Amino acid sequence: MARCCRGLYTRLGPQQSSRAWRLFSGCAHNCVGLDRNSLLANVLGVYGRLSSRPPKGGAAFWATLTYYVFFRNIGREVTWKDFVNNYLSKGIVDRLEVVNKRYVRVVFAPEKLAVDGYVWFNIGSVDTFERNLETAQQEQGIEGENKIPVVYSTESDGSFLLSMLPTILIIGFLLFTLRRGAAGVGRSGRGMGGLFSVGETTAKVLKDEIDVKFKDVAGCEEAKLEIMEFVNFLKNPNQYQELGAKIPKGAILTGPPGTGKTLLAKATAGEANVPFITVNGSEFLEMFVGVGPARVRDLFVMARKNAPCILFIDEIDAVGRKRGRGNFGGQSEQENTLNQLLVEMDGFNTATNVVVLAGTNRPDILDPALMRPGRFDRQIFIGADIANVCNEAALIAARHLSVAINQKHFEQAIERVIGGLEKKTQILQPEEKKTVAYHEAGHAVAGWFLEHADPLLKVSIIPRGKGLGYAQYLPKEQYLYSKEQLHDRMCMTLGGRVSEQIFFGRITTGAQDDLRKVTQSAYAQIVQFGMNEKVGQVSFDFPRQGEMTLEKPYSEATARLIDEEVRLVISSAYERTLSLLTEKRAEVEKIAQRLLEKEVLDKADMVELLGPRPFAEKSTYEEFVEGTGSLEEDTSLPEGLKDWNKDRENERKYQKKSKLEEDSLEGWDTK
């Protein structure tokens, strides 16, 4: 009884607990002596009164299950010998019921009820039972009309239902899980939910939640200028349509992770004041076949309903990879999804006033059909990691209880982003610390006396990130490199390994990352940039790290030649660095000893120990003056976009005017 009520509390809720207890107590009292049909009717009646509605569907199922598990009287099993000696011989048996040809239920005469309920016993077969019963009655002297009547019946004892219960529970749990999983993806009540909505898109529509503007995105002015045209089209479509112009259907935002691709897309939607639909590329692919294309179709249906709008697909390389590579069955779903995306962007059923933006940090693996005119017409590179640096600087300032962020906080933030967090608690043995000091001193001295190496800003032997030492350089804003410049960079990178060899006569594992960079540079010079006379002016696709290539685009003989030339290039750089540091041995010794003493050296310390760098270094301002860049954030705009930054320009003019007024007031006070 207690088990029954605990199960009902779970099903019906705690608010009806007292009522359930009273009803089932009465049910248990009334059910004594009732047959199975009356007992089941009592249980169904209790469920009906508790749920205030007829016991249909689930209520009937649970009531039946409760009856079979808790209320069904299964009687008491006895043996054939006990039946004959205790019941048949005493003359209290009214009749025998053979149920399902498996067992016999003993029914007692009402006036001679010997036990509470009934007893039963198993039989091997009906023929054997009949022979044994005939023999037993003859032995007991029961003849003629006094013989015990035998009734044959077929009943359902619930064993089939109980045997199916685990299967029913498993199927119910799976359906419940799928329904909950599909309903919790952010569909905002769309569709039927569960399995019926697995083909619906998981995209989110943001209308009033976007408060990001272009002024909140710093460090990528050229990217903002390129994307302004999309916003102007959404704001003023007639300006283009009257001239018969077609705005580019979409743009790919590329750049390293964390450089603000998603932020720029949100700012675009915020400036255009149109709905912003966002979805992740991996959300198109699920365990069911055909879900990807269905979700793409549903996504563009949603976009057309909200047009004009901006559709942003983040990490599009999940579905936009090149087709025909490594199709072992699992890739076919991705290719079908990509085909549907291509059709939706530029097919017979193209969307109007829907600009598609996509973000990825691997544009080289995208399918060429995505990049052709009519789809993603433009590729916008975003390379500034300013937001992360500013956030780190703010965290550092807050950690030091500063009221404002100053230059020191920004310097620490840049070091944190580039090199990782300082590990001052990591204990190094004296011998290891000395090795790290001479290793970093080798890098510093080699870079100081090589013309094309990057100028050194800071060197440290405090463990940071995965490295035991750290050197910070100021690279130039340079996009083209000569063979000599790459060779100098290789020599500077090998400076640590060479310094260990000179001062200790042995090498350590600390140069592993340096050797990896040198090897990549050497292979790139020969395989990609055509900087080797023997291999020639050729360029092959260089596989990215982690990519599986089944065949190389060149022969085995060419591969052997490339490997030989790579070893020669690295050996040449190593010998040159060895000669340089052997000549500058005293300088390396000075830097290493000062590092062991102070742990951190900056450019002023290097000038003090080594003297001025023998090669002239241009300041950032001088490089901008000689180059074609601009120190101003805003670049000149076409006539159609002249009003784009009008508010910002007015704000700048107001600030300049206020500053001039303040300067004039200060001059008046001085007079």
**650/545 Cα distance (integer angstroms):** 49
Query: How many other CB atoms sit within 10 Å of the CB of residue 245?
Result: 9
Show the tokens assigned to 204: 């989110």
Q: How far from 99 is each of 107, 126, 391, 453, CA to CA, in Å?
A: 12, 10, 80, 98
Residues 6+ positions from 146 with CB-CB distance below 8 Å: none
Amino acid letter, residue 47: Y
Q: What are the backbone angles phi and psi of residue 205, rounded to the nearest 5°?
A: -105, 120
CA distances from 285 to 27, 190, 193 (A): 54, 20, 18
Q: Are 396 and 412 in contact (CB under 8 A)?
A: yes
Rounded Cα–Cα distance for residues 377 and 370 (Å): 9
What CA–CA distance (Å, rounded) separates 341 from 257? 24
Instruction: Give dist(CA 171, CA 168) in Å, integer.
Output: 5
CA distance 197 to 179: 9
Based on its alpha-carbon atoms, the radius of gyration of the chain, rounded to whole angstroms, reads: 42
Number of alpha helices (DSSP H) and beta strands (DSSP E) in the chain: 24, 14
Strand partners, 97: 105, 151
Q: How far apart are CA 446 and CA 498, in angstroms?
A: 10
Placement of tokens 């550092």 in the chain: 396
Tell me the sheet residues that pair with 309: 354
> DSSP 3-state assignment of 638?
coil
- H helix or E strand, kind and range, residue 314: strand 309-314
Identify which of 117, 151, 114 has the alpha carbon closest to the alpha carbon of residue 34: 117
Run of H or E residues at 443: helix 430-448
Strands 309-314 and 600-602: unpaired
DSSP 509: G
- CA distances to 414, 440, 524, 589 from 510, rounded to whole Å, are 23, 10, 23, 19
DSSP string, 384-417: --HHHHHHHHHHHHHHTT-SS--HHHHHHHHHHH
Collapsing DSSP to helix, strand or coil, 56 comes out as coil
Residue 402 has a CB neighbour count (10 Å cut-off) of 13
Distance CA 483, CA 560 (A): 22
CA contacts within 13 A on the Cβ side of 133: 21
* Encoded amino acid at 665, one letter: L
Rounded Cα–Cα distance for residues 2 and 14 (Å): 15
Q: 221: which residues sit within 8 A by CB, 6+ positions away?
A: 633, 634, 635
Pairing of strands 150-153, 276-280: unpaired
Q: What is the DSSP letter of 282?
A: G
Catalytic residue numbers, as ranges: 440
